[in-house]
Copies of this chain bind each other. A is one copy, B any other.
Amino acid sequence: MPGTAPTDELFLAHFAELSRFGATERGGVDRQAGTPADGEQRRWLAQLLAAEGFDVQYDRVGNQFALLELVPGAPYVLTGSHLDSQPTAGRFDGAYGVLASAHACLRLAAEFAAAGTRPRFNLAVVNWFNEEGSRFKPSMLGSSVFTGKLDAGTALAVRDGQGVTVREALESIGCLGDGEGPSAAFCAEIHIEQGRSLERDGITIGLVDSNWAVNKYEFVVHGEQAHTGSTVIADRHDALLGASMLVVAAREAADRYPGQVITSVGQLSVYPNSPVVVPSRVELVLDLRSAQMPLLAEADAWLHERIAAIEAAASVTIEQRMSHGWPVTPYQPEGVELAAKVAADLGLPARPVSTLAGHDSTNLKDVVPTVMLFVPSVEGISHNERELTSDADMLAGVAVLTEVVRRLALGALAE
């Protein structure tokens, strides 16, 4: 529908269309990075924006950019999020932010063209590759390469559980480009909160001013295969018992700091995983998060001190194979202030929040001034097919994002 005005109604219609890619029976989506469903939604987004004059490009790790060059040679205000999802996910996580960014830029393109406005910066919509990290690790892979935190060659060689590389997955959906993407002067992202604080307090717009610190670990618990039916307890080296004790200890670490530290084990794989074999190897991914770095360090140290006791109790060895993480870091205060002013001008209740989850903007803010916005999630439910944000909140978010991008493009933070 080229030429159709980018109204609120059109946004909601487009969101309904987008939600059909990889749709699940229970109202969610399954469109992990680089799958056929991801390819379909990327082609749909490309057509939507190309029809309005945007130049759609892919960089060397599959980040998708739709560029509108209004000022030849000037850098871009880059606004976007990610379309990839968890295996059984909600419709809003990431996808809402990409579509909101597309509509913000469509609105500004129409406005600037009608008024003859020449902004200071160009506009670009971005769909970052593999934010979720469920198919390819680490999460936020595309934005990590874009911001120079991860080597492109390393990223392209990452394999999924079936042995398929990022390069092969991107080639299979025709989304492997070259180059490093556009030059960014400012970035913006809008996302659902994935928590319940905004909903609980009747706030429409969260102004993200910092991210929680995270320590992530891959542990491998090594035991010894044995017959479950004939091997007496004293002779066992049960990797699953050791792993289970580690899962329980991780929760205990969080319980020592109620509301201040959270811990999780989301992934755990057992080998050989036969009913009658004592497991010889368990691999698991564990993370600890806190807004207060001293508490994170305390909880982390406590958990690591427990490992020796677990090794002894289960007669196993626990190997820490990989770790990464990030500290508490602020978003640029001038960006938070700009967004606060926009929300106030639009009469929308807003307040600063800290993000517990990582986002592509967590990477981007470290290299370019970045504004991050949240809209409420019903009951805080996320990474779940029941994830929901109301139409009214989605539309309020699009309005705020549009105005933030407008001011950034016009140079509000340029000096």
Contact = CB atoms under 8 A, between A and B. Distances in A.
A73 to B, nearest CB: 38
A377 to B, nearest CB: 9
Interface stretch (A48-56, A225-233, A400-408): A225-233
Contact of A229 (B230, B254, B357, B381): B357
B244 A193 contact: no
Interface string A250-290: 01001100110011111111101111111110000101010
Contacts of A267: 270, 273-275
Interface residues of A, number: 72
Contact of A276 (B86, B254, B280): B86
A329 interface: no
Contact of A273 (B266, B277, B384): B266
A399 interface: no
Given A86-B274, A139-B276, A275-B266, A194 B384 contact: no
Given A134-B274, A275-B134, A275-B285, A195 B230 contact: yes
Contacts of A287: 228-229, 275
A304 interface: no
A71 interface: no
Contacts of A268: 240, 268, 270, 273
A248 interface: yes
A212 B232 CA distance: 12
Contacts of A276: 86, 132-134, 139, 264, 266, 357, 383
A249 to B, nearest CB: 9
Contacts of A263: 233
Contacts of A230: 193-195, 355-357, 380, 382
A216 B274 CA distance: 13
A74 interface: no
Interface string A77-109: 000000000111000010000000000000000
A154 to B, nearest CB: 18
Contacts of A152: none
